[in-house]
Structure 1
């Protein structure tokens, strides 16, 4: 290479040398496609070996700063049960892969960001295949998921049962009683549409006929199940996309980071390789929390400096996941109120940046909702759907509120898939949503 000129990346200390080759064409002495240091104008084997050594050192510097790989731990119950999964596919073979070519092509589509993020492409050295570490001893059968969900929804079901019993004890099914029932259901956050459907179903009976509270709750269970059944869909990962990108959004305090950790554990148990990205760069605690989940689940975590551009970190994580052949990339984001214009603009920017590498990504945008917020959740769904393209919902903290009925109102109004619900902090306290199970527990207890 002749007429060399060099510059250094201030963030990584990585040197890039430009010049012309023997044909007089401009060239650069390292490749953005796979991060390897290549002297395109020299036939010296010694020079090529020196460049390769320099590249490996610089790549490791970036990994040490930004990728937390969990330490391998002794075999455990979960390790014996789930094994190492497909993370073993990420072991480097020493050959250039299709993922490397994809990363190079994507960078051609994003020249404005290539200089800042070229160092994010990681070689698939040896991604961790550590078994998940349980956060507690396995619970006894009587404390299984159904029991925990029933206990979590008990406040909501008790509130409804007490109200219905008070209305229909020694009262006829007349217009006044139906009006009172409609008010009760609306106050229980079931929504106007659902409340109207339930009272209409009951109103088809003769007003002179008496009706028991149990009969009313049975009608309630049937109508709630009818609303929820179309939206109860598990989160499905498309194996044809590597990585399948899941972006987590929501307001402050809904449990996004914890939900990401639980989803990572579930995907690992299915034998998928997973990477998490700490996109909440405003809170150091969020980064630390995600690292803890990475250790517990055996998943790599991509992090940045506190206050760093979250869109740039998402871009880095995308390149790292592509280069490493990861199955699922889970991207955390900072909590933001739906009425803060600047913060919602930032979320839209993150989506645009992700699409520079994969026009189809993110493949899922999950809005995490806190059940305790009640009616405010309706506005959250509307704004995040319109601004961030929300594709599905996860509802958390159903164990701490009497307002679990809000999920029914949201489903009736928006029809967005409800992928999962949570009733606690444990690693197994997040499960796929079952409409009939939820309807039965909320109406019948």
Structure 2
């Protein structure tokens, strides 16, 4: 049990997002409970060692994680107890038919069934199970926290598979806030922010930008209350992007300028360079191309000065390539796209680099077959690992159609690309719908 507690402590300290913290705490606890007291002892021991070494900021982080474990002790123990009762019922073969579950356990057991189906990758049955579970009201604030976690995971997978309406459906009865779970902890505020961000993205996927912005403002409110600057950045950026996507370009520029000012106060430059890239794109939308170019070059200069790599570096290269393409500088566009692709690989952002490359190269003629073929091979490898990633699958088909055309089979490529265009339409994916067959002629 001691080794298990130490392993959980390692995962908590390695987590980079609230979702990863949640996974470390709850991911396998119900099937294989760790010693909570042992975990707390391990965390506090590490805090003391860090404090003695003068690493006060890291010690404060460890103390915060320990307080989260204490805060969620009751929930963890209850989930383990419910799981044990459920498994005992399964062994008797009659757990849902012959046993009248206590009222406060009913929804938790049903949601656990939803989570099991998600783990097995059966999204269709998970959606049906979620709809059945929705008929049972939640009666326990702590239970609501667990329900939200299950539904967020399912909704994120559904969105990735292009099923935004199904994802909205499984989130319909989830109204999660710190007051609803009886606590105002920073972690709960972040969970609420995460819920509203996802709901906003899904609403935009189905074309409702106004309600999407309402969701983002709620997310920003919770993120600000949590004090978690990265989540404030994400919620605010989603809000600004929504203005761009709905055609309110000047309002988007205003919001992005505010975000840049906000990120200047943060100690981590990753938020600043991301904000500069986003502002550059908004400036392009209003025709201020040279101002945009200066922001992208500023981003690259920061990475060069820090001798670092990152996704914002890759994004800056791709956006410089877009500017070059708009100026009919094919060679400059291809050079920038190549730099963007390999920068993404160096930053371990392979999926985004592949998508950015494949979604752009078809627009550049005569094109760079070597880069297209390289990105296609990377895409095939990713699809082997992520079977349900619809956008990757679509992009691979798009790339293969482009390669067929470039090798002389224009009619066959046109048929393939028209099929992809029809497949993309009902999925309400703005980025994909903007890619039309006419651009390949």
Structure 1 and Structure 2 fold alike (TM over 0.5): no
Q: Highest CA radius of gyration, 1 or 2?
A: 1
Comparing both structures, which one devotes a greater share of its residues to helix?
2
Normalization by structure 2: what TM-score?
Answer: 0.26
Q: Which has the higher contact order (CA 8 A, sep 6+)?
A: 1
Greater fraction of residues in strand: 1
TM-score by length of 1: 0.26
